[in-house]
Structure 1
């Protein structure tokens, strides 16, 4: 299966947003079930330059699966307290070829977590905690009137950023990408609606601030608001319309006026709304391209009632752009044919342009320094392995040694190794205790060491060349038919692989 939407021009930026409703289950559906849990293959399928996911429902202990993607910058935020809830990600394609038309467009300049600026900057080199508002080198700015939007209540503002709902990325083309999962208030409570309204007020105020600063803004994600009567099948069924006539403009206006505060607020931000305001600066890219005459353009369906086959749903997922990007919109649509979630993807192709001064890349020709929110830094997705941890345990130290005030030398702390393993694994724990007591290393070795030993079985002249003319990589089969059997394969990542395969002699 191929993605049916093609780019009009290689210079267009393809943006895709998708509420995956749990990234692990996402890979159980066609065509993603053929992609071996590889986000790299998913992004290639969409031909995406910028892709945002919502409702990742992941946690820190498995973030490495989604935070180190070949060829992409990765930015992921997850809830501060609730495990396996919410969470959004944004991936930006890395462009290293200066001749690529997207080189001066997709360089990542800065990245920020949350919408309020009150979260702490990760890996702060100064040693003392700083919020984004206190660190101009990391923040995107644009905090004016944010506190006023909800009467300056700092505690309320902090709560808005505790559920892993937003990341913001600034690109070298003077454009800010916002990946967002807005609150839904599914239970329709007063408290839930208040939380949602506060979130939307701060979000839209921040976007207006960016626009005032001269930035382009693209808001991508699940806004959790159906903007018009035609964006909800239930509303189309229940809203009273005189017989023998279709919808007219007054019907749209009456519907918005009689609906929830969040829908009225949402429409007040849109220049193509039937009720725009003086603050309207955003354009609904999908509706702008597809037009108001297209009905049943839904992006989410009720899975319990199985309403997707009859297309009885709601449109909650959007790619919204500031009005100065209207003429740059090339294409936009929903993709209801793509499964993997109760939502479907939404895409837009935009001809983003480099900054007029062409100084998006420093004079030394190198891309900007990677922001601290990049997953490999934020979640410490380094190259260390469990072997390193055990070598420190043998010396009686914790994996992270502390410093004394007197001599600043690292001093180990006595530990219990049982804490590094799940309870019930008594036999494994006993074996580890025995290994440490006898001063023997655990029967593990770094991946590179193991790889060298495996290659050592072959003369260097025996290592075949793949179709690229490069030395092939030795791998191990994990199939039921040939478990543990060695084979040679192309060393390039899946999207660049030449498909070379050869069984290794045993």
Structure 2
């Protein structure tokens, strides 16, 4: 079984002081992805966990902003930084690792911000990101994770009625996510828990986490042909330190291989 974990840490240096190294070690992931690292090169060790190779994509537009990272125990064939769009890639939002049997992509999708003032930038990202993922899927199956900054359906947030026109739950963002799934990807948590209300982000305001007034905006998606390999999809809400919590995906490695063999025969 392969274990993947994704976590928007909302600042890696900040969460490092809040038990993150112990939480990281306890999870024993084969591949561990981070979003919103808020780092530049040289601000932390290039390889903070000796058992893992570390890959970093830093924002170059401003310091202490955005950024992604992936730590892997598995041997990596190739690393890709960004999606080929200069404006998006300068914010360090997408990092891809190629493994022998699949691509692993972590993403920190742009927030549309108050008043949806950054919605055009967000939707441009969505279109190009979907194209990028589909191009990878032609080669081999894809695992996508990260803070995708959208609650897809009403079940995915505590108060849908009052948030209908807010960033993360606008019609445009939800439609873009639906269109991504329609290109051949599956929301693994909803696959295994179609009716469960469980959240991965809570505002720091109004004791939202204490009252569990949250949103599910962190995801693991997989190519449709990997569905048979999905054995677990969890939201680890007991792990603290960020306004998000980690999420986990468990895949049967032998079935990943079978998915690839099936594709080759088509």
**TM-score > 0.5, shorter chain as reference:** yes
2: distance between equivalents of 1:311 and 1:236? 17
Tell me which residue corresponds to 1:210.
Answer: 136
Aligned residue in 1 for 2:35: 54
1 CA distance for matches of 2:170 and 2:51? Answer: 44
2:188 alignment counterpart: 285
Moved over 4 A (4+): 236-239
Query: CA contact under 8 A between 2:23 and 2:239: conserved in structure 1?
Result: no
- Root mean square deviation of aligned Cα: 2.0
Number of the residue aligned with 2:263: none
Structure 2 residue 98 is matched with structure 1 residue 195? no
Q: Contact between 1:67 and 1:76, CA under 8 Å: does it hold in 2? A: no
1:265 matched to 2:192? The reply is no
Whichever structure has more helix as a proportion of its residues is 2
Shift of 1:206: 1.0
Q: CA deviation at 1:25?
A: 1.7
| 1:18 counterpart = 2:18 | no
**Equivalent in 348, 371, 375 of residue 249 of structure 2:** 348
The total of aligned residue pairs comes to 254
Q: Give the superposition deviation at 1:43.
A: 3.1
Is 2:234–2:248's contact at 8 Å kept on the other side of the alignment? yes
Q: Does the aligned pair in 2 maintain the 1:290–1:333 contact within 8 Å?
A: no
Q: What is the match of residue 424 of structure 1? A: none
User: How many angstroms apart in 1 are the aligned matches of 2:120 and 2:173?
Assistant: 9
1:113 is matched with which residue?
A: 81
Distance in 2 (CA, whole Å) between partners of 1:344 and 1:70 is: 24
Say if 1:52 and 1:88, in contact at 8 Å, map to a contact too. yes
Q: Pick one of 56, 65, 70 that aligns with 2:50.
A: 70
Larger radius of gyration: 1
CA contact (8 A) 2:148 2:217 kept: yes
TM superposition shift of 1:232: 1.6
1:374-385 aligned at under 5 Å gives the runs none
Which is bigger in relative contact order (C-alpha 8 A, separation at least 6)? 2
SS in structure 1 opposite 2:5? strand
TM-score normalised by structure 1 residue count: 0.48
> CA offsets per residue over residues 311-339 of structure 1, 9 Å max, x none?
10111100111111101011111011110
Structure 2: 5+ residue runs without aligned partners? 261-266
Does structure 2 conserve the Cα–Cα contact (< 8 Å) formed by 1:172 and 1:355? no
C-alpha separation in 1, matches of 2:47 and 2:128: 28
* CA separation of 1:288 and 1:43: change in aligned 2, threshold 3 A: same
1: CA distance, partners of 2:42 / 2:138: 40
Pairing of 1:163-182 with structure 2 (within 5 A)? 163-173=91-101, 175-182=102-109
**Residue 186 of structure 1, CA deviation:** 1.7
| 1:267 Cα offset (Å) | 1.2
Unaligned runs of 5+ in 1: 1-11, 33-37, 94-105, 117-156, 240-257, 271-276, 359-506
Q: Secondary structure at the match of 1:332?
A: strand
Select the structure that is richer in strand.
2
Q: TM-score, normalization: structure 2?
A: 0.89
